[in-house]
Every structure is written in C-alpha cells, then in structure tokens.
A = this chain, B = another copy of it.
Amino acid sequence: MKGMYYDGQVARLRHDLPEPRPFPGEVVLRVRAAGVCGTDLQITRGYFGFRGVLGHEFVAEDAGGRRVAAEINFACHACTTCARGDSNHCPTRTVLGIVGRDGAMAELVSVPERNLHAVPEVVSDAEAVFIEPLAAAFRMVEQVEVSAGTAVCVLGDGKLGLLCTYVARDRGARVTLVGRHADKLALAGAGVATCTSRDAGALGRPFDVVVEATGSAAGLAQALTLVRPRGVIVLKSTVAARYEIDLAPVVVDEVRVVGSRCGPFPPAIAALAARRIDVRPLIQAELPLDQAEAALRLAGEPGARKVLLRVG
C-alpha cells in the first residue's frame, strides 16, 4: 500500500508498504484524510527515534463505512498505571506514528477498537483531522481551572496556540494571544486580545494562566514574566532541547508548571459539531497522499498553517 514512511534518514512516499496486520482488539481502517503536525516534522529531523509510517491526526472509515477518529496512545490496559486511569501514560504503550506504531499517512491504519470515536456527519473530513490536536488543547482545561473571567495568556500563534486560544475562549476566559505573525494573530477570533511577542513585556503580570505553546524552549522564561504569583503555566510544547533557565521565580512566586499532552476526544468533537470552535481558517492547503513529500515541505515552511493530506 501507499504511505509516507520515515526510515531514520528521510521521509518518503512509498508504494510497497505491507498492509497493517491488526493486533487483537484492533481494526483496520481506511484512511480518508490526515494532518501534518509539528511532531511529524520533528520526527523527520531525527527526534524520537521513530521509524515507520508517519501521522497521528486523521479521519478514517471502518469496515461498515462509519467515519471515525482515534486516540493515539495504545495502552496495555493491564498495568498499575492503566489501572490508575492513566492509560495515556502506560509505560509499555505505543503511540500512533510516534512510538513503535505505523501512523495514518497511509491508505490503511490499524488501531485498537476502544480508541475509536464516531465523527458526526456535520463535521467534515478536513475538520475531523483537527480532533486530535483540539483534544490536546482541551486537555489543558481538564488540568487547570479555566472559566468565565480567568485571565489566560497563550504564547505562540502556531496551530496549537490558536487551538488553545479557541478552547480558553470557549470556556469564557479573557484571552490574550501573543505571537509573531500578524496573519496568525488575525486568526485569534472575536473577543481575543492579541499582542506581538515584542510588546508582551508591557502586559505586566496579570495572568492567572499562561499557556506555553511557542514550540521554543525560551517560551517558559517568557511565561514566567507574565504569570501572576500562584498562577499556572501550562507547558504544551514538547521541545527536544536543553535550555538554560533560572527557576527561582517558580519557587518565590509559587508558580505551578503543568505539563500537558494528549487530551479527551469527546469535548473536541462536540465543540466542532456545535460550531462553537471553527478550525477551518487554520487550513493552509489540502494535497493528495501522492504529494505527501511536498506536503511535509510546505508544512515546514515558516508560518505555515495546517497542511492536510487527502487519502481516500
């Protein structure tokens, strides 16, 4: 079958990939569309040590023609971590297209049936590809109180920063988006204040919650200049890099720093279905799977929005 394969050196579209063989409890899905994520680009730069088919944002259809999205952590559901309800952190888990598991930029993908979520008809394929990253943005509001009146600052006007902005706004928070690109800041949406990174110093430290989604290790230092004492910094960027920082302000101001990763699909699907969150302005382009290599290059250009692959 066709698929976008990373061999540890280069990512290439291959036509000779074997069809996936499902483990017990899994189903093979026919992929309809997939998205290119910043993590995919990091993988192709050699981080994470992954080899295989890329892609973890997708919509597919099962044997019965039902459209589905799938959570990407494949857990054992038998260990103490899973028993605690932390199956997304199962120590022996594989992760679709990231850790030990072929991903979704291919004609077919195999995933555990329990990971599937039905996609309502009103949500298009292009929107459904955003369910996984939007769920990651919703993870934040599972961990941190964000409600009417909460002063939230989102650092980073990339795709994840914008999705976090939408989720915080959906919760009624007073949101300020800080970023570098005028065209991205323009996507913040109604009722969201925007500010360039250069001017962020003038904001003071009024924020209850600062979401670090810059994709840069330097984001945390900036977040510390914006969060109020006893406030919360949500770390969303997985930056595979060492960074020098003075953490004394964390102690003196009793700041909480909360790592935040994958999130719940149901609120993301509900927000898309109800049109409470509109992700369509985030789409840069949609290319066929045959042009997957060009799609990854496009997604890697500075300031690129979400690039989609049309598969089925």
Contacts and interface: CB of A to CB of B under 8 A. Distances in A.
Interface in A206-249: 217, 220, 228-230, 235-249
Contacts of A239: 247-248
Contact of A240 (B91, B248, B260): B248
A310 to B, nearest CB: 31
Contacts of A261: 251-252, 254
Given A256-B257, A257-B256, A258-B256, A81 B229 contact: yes
Contact of A251 (B241, B243, B254, B260): B260
B217 A247 contact: yes
Contacts of A217: 247
A212 to B, nearest CB: 9
Interface residues of A, number: 37
A86 B230 contact: yes
A256 B251 CA distance: 13
Nearest to A205: B91
Given A81-B229, A238-B248, A89 B254 contact: yes
A170 interface: no
A256 B246 CA distance: 17
Contacts of A91: 229
A27 B242 CA distance: 50
B236 A251 contact: yes
A33 interface: no
B238 A251 contact: yes
Contacts of A266: none
A216 B292 CA distance: 48
A148 to B, nearest CB: 17
Nearest to A256: B258
Nearest to A47: B248
B245 A243 contact: yes
A247 B228 CA distance: 21
A252 B259 contact: yes
A239 B253 CA distance: 13
A236 B180 CA distance: 35
A238 B251 CA distance: 6
Interface of A: 81, 86, 89, 91, 143, 217, 220, 228-230, 235-261
Given A250-B259, A256-B259, 14 more contacts: A81-B229, A235-B250, A237-B251, A238-B252, A239-B247, A240-B248, A241-B246, A244-B244, A244-B245, A251-B260, A252-B261, A254-B258, A254-B261, A255-B259
9 contacts: A81-B229, A238-B252, A241-B248, A242-B244, A249-B259, A250-B259, A251-B259, A252-B261, A254-B259
Rank and list the top 10 A-B pairs by shortest CB-CB distance, nearest first: A89-B229, A250-B259, A257-B257, A251-B259, A244-B244, A254-B259, A238-B251, A242-B246, A242-B244, A255-B259
